[in-house]
Each structure stands twice: as C-alpha cells, then as structure tokens.
Structure 1
Amino acid sequence: MSPVPPIPISPEMPVHVLMSAHRGTIPVFLRHRMRCVGCPVARLHTVRDACRDHEMDLATFLAEIEATVAEGEPGRARTQEEGQAT
C-alpha cells in the first residue's frame, strides 16, 4: 500500500484542519496574534476567513504557512487518511 499524500493547504481549508494536520503552523498563527488556536469558530472558519478577520494578507500568510510546513515541524503531520502519519 502506497503512502497517502499530505493534506494540501489552500485558502479554503478550515483553520482547525490546518492546525491539526500541521501542528507546526500553530506558532505562525500566534506570532501574527491570530486568536484561532482554541477558538470554537476555527471549525467553521477557513484560512481565508481568518486572514480577513485579522486583517492579514492572505498570500503572505499562506507563504509563511507553506514555508513552515516545508521546513518540517514538530510532531507528525496527518494525511488525508485518518490515523496515518508522515
């Protein structure tokens, strides 16, 4: 069985999915004073919504998120198939 690819990052990705799949992104949210970590609305908000609400440039934020994920992060990144980790 071949490994399942990591979950792709997009502006339409729910914030809680991003932070769950890529734990290393949590400090990026905190560094920008985005109060998404632990927020109950994170299940409903997309990355685009969060950037809009926190007046953060979407392209800049996504570039930082993607760089963080590419560098590797503490913990394991989840894949699309529940229970598998990379």
Structure 2
Amino acid sequence: MDDMGLTADLTVAELLARWPQTAQVFLRYRMACIGCTMAPFDTLADVTTAYDLRLDLFLSELRRTIAETGPPGAGPEEGWL
C-alpha cells in the first residue's frame, strides 16, 4: 500500500467516494465505470485489465489528479452558493 492508500486492490466505488475528483480520469479514458453497478466490486486492477490499460500508468494519473486537486473533501467552502 502506498501512503495515500491508493492501490490496485481499491474498488472503483471506494476510490470515487474518497476522491471524487478522480472521476475525470475515468471519463478521459471513456470508461463506463462512473455509475456502473459493478463499481463496488471491481478493483482498479480489474478495470484496467478490462479496458486494456497499464495499471501503473493509470494509478500514476489518479495520484497526479489527487495531488493537483487537493485532499479528500477539498472543494468550495460551505455556503459558497
């Protein structure tokens, strides 16, 4: 496990719950994982295999997106609307 907890064994649903900003990575690759009924069960290793992607590169892109957008829950301040 890395220091973020982002590993190949993490499910898509767990990833998106913890770091919702990573949805953009799935969309960039035109992956149907967002809203998929298998998201609670499929790991990142599973989906990269299914989409014929390199796991190491996909994890790197997820980590980069998280680093660029901030920690879990980072976003607009409460009451910004």
TM-score (norm 2): 0.80
Assess if the C-alpha contact under 8 Å between 2:8 and 2:44 holds in 1: yes
Question: Kindly, what percent of the aligned residue pairs are identical?
Answer: 33
Partner Cα separation in structure 1 for residue 64 and residue 45 of structure 2: 17
Assess if the C-alpha contact under 8 Å between 1:19 and 1:26 holds in 2: yes
1:70 maps to 2:50: no
Equivalent pairs counted in the alignment come to 72
Could you say if the C-alpha distance between residues 33 and 73 of structure 1 is closer, same or farther in structure 2, counting changes exceeding 3 Å?
farther
1:22 maps to 2:54: no
Partner Cα separation in structure 2 for residue 52 and residue 73 of structure 1: 28
| Structure 1 residue corresponding to 2:55, chosen from 46, 54, 58 | 58
TM-score (norm 1): 0.76
Assess if the C-alpha contact under 8 Å between 2:18 and 2:72 holds in 1: no
Partner Cα separation in structure 1 for residue 43 and residue 13 of structure 2: 8
Specify the SS of the correspondent of 1:43: coil
If asked which structure has higher relative contact order (CA below 8 Å, sep 6+), I would say: 1
Aligned residue number for residue 78 of structure 2: none
Q: Please, what is the CA RMSD of the aligned residues?
A: 2.0
Partner Cα separation in structure 1 for residue 36 and residue 18 of structure 2: 16
